[in-house]
Amino acid sequence: MEQTPLTINIRGRLMDFSRPKVMGIINVTPDSFYSQSRTFSQDAIARRLDGMLAEEADIIDIGGYSTRPGADPVSPEEEYSRLALALETVRKRHPETVVSVDTFRAEVARRCVEDWQADIINDIGGGTLDPEMWHTVADLKVPYILMHMRGTPQTMQSMTDYEDVAADVISDLAHKAARLHALGVADVIIDPGYGFAKTIDQNYRLLAAIPEFRKMRMPVLVGISHKTMIWRPLGITPEESTLPTVALDAMALQLGADIVRVHEVLPAVQTVKMLGLLRRNSGF
């Protein structure tokens, strides 16, 4: 028997995942690992935003702090200033857009929700980088993206020793999700944390384990766009990895991903539509 589609509550509106969703990335940073995603002026933000919405992005994810290894630290005030620049643009141009804010800082998350009505908090630290984050999200009553990571962006790649990476990550996320639910966070989206404290092989094991993550009955987000797990094995650069990103996102969707977080929206939207055609006509 087919299970009821998963849903999250966004300010009283239900978003259901009977069809996978595409999350488009806006990085308000000068040093994001993928140079073509960098938008550091209001005009550039507006152009990228308009383009992604025209291409039918379901969610816009805005980040103001690059978490690539070796990135320069950014103060909370500077991070908020960057996010506010983008959030103001979104709310003025497309006020009904579902917006996710990519931050691991509770104070920044609170200001984005209270000042700009950010809809979702996307926390790469999964609550490990700021002990106030979970209580803040519970108080704000917004959906929360719980990502798996060890250490910090500066130390994470030295912390890849797992007994069984899929089992360990699932156990960690399940434990944290239970604690979040107990605090009153109703809507939790889980992210295995591709590229964060994972080797290349471990990333692919986690990709193959998407059906296991889906058994947790929470939406599963896959964020692999232009990451090292794609371009390094192929001997190419991040800028050359658009086509293999699309291919790997298609595999993730086929395995059951509910959200794909991408730099290029149009090919992801087209992939979702084609997968829908395949499922309708094959029972897949």
Q: Which of 227, 273, 279, 280 is catalytic?
A: 227
Query: Which tokens is 120 given?
Result: 């979702």
Q: For residues 113 and 111, what is the distance between their CA atoms, to the nearest angstrom?
A: 5
Number of H helices, E strands in the chain: 10, 10
The SS3 of residue 186 is coil
Looking at the chain, how many residues does it have? 284
Clarify whether 179 is annotated catalytic.
no
Gap between the Cα atoms of 203 and 105, Å rounded: 25
Measure the CA angle with vertex 64, ends 62 and 67; round to 5°.
105
Known catalytic residue at 110: no
Q: What's the DSSP call for residue 33?
A: S
CA distance 42 to 114: 21
Alpha carbons 125 and 148: distance in angstroms, whole number:
7
Q: Which of 110, 261, 279, 280 is flagged as catalytic?
A: 261
- The residues that are catalytic are 227, 261
